[in-house]
Amino acid sequence: AQQPGTPLSDQEYHHFFKFLQITIQARTACQLRELYGCMNSLIQKLDQYENHGVIPPGPICSELPEDSSFHNFCTFSLYRCIMKKYFLKV
């Protein structure tokens, strides 16, 4: 274990910045979604990419105790963006 206050190892920095980059990209995708909406062709391509080529029809079920079902994938994606749960899966 590292001593508190010491810098990360090279491997730890690699992991840290990889996670940071992914989070920044997810946040950017959310900003585009909020700005242009789910019907935008870029957003639809991102949704298709995330779901192996097909945007799933609703309802979308999740394992969230507070919201277990969403009307469609767009609603689910907007929820993830608003709640900053970028990597939440159904």
pLDDT at 35: 93
Residue carrying structure tokens 């010491």: 6
pLDDT by residue for the chain (90 residues), tens only, comes to 577 777 778 888 788 788 778 888 889 989 999 999 999 999 999 889 888 898 888 888 877 667 678 888 898 899 889 888 877 766
Q: Map out the domains of the chain as residue ranges.
A: 22-83
Supply φ then ψ for residue 69, to 5 degrees: -140, 140
Q: 69: which strand partners?
A: 61
Collect all residues with Cβ–Cβ distance below 8 Å to 37 and sequence separation of at least 6: 43
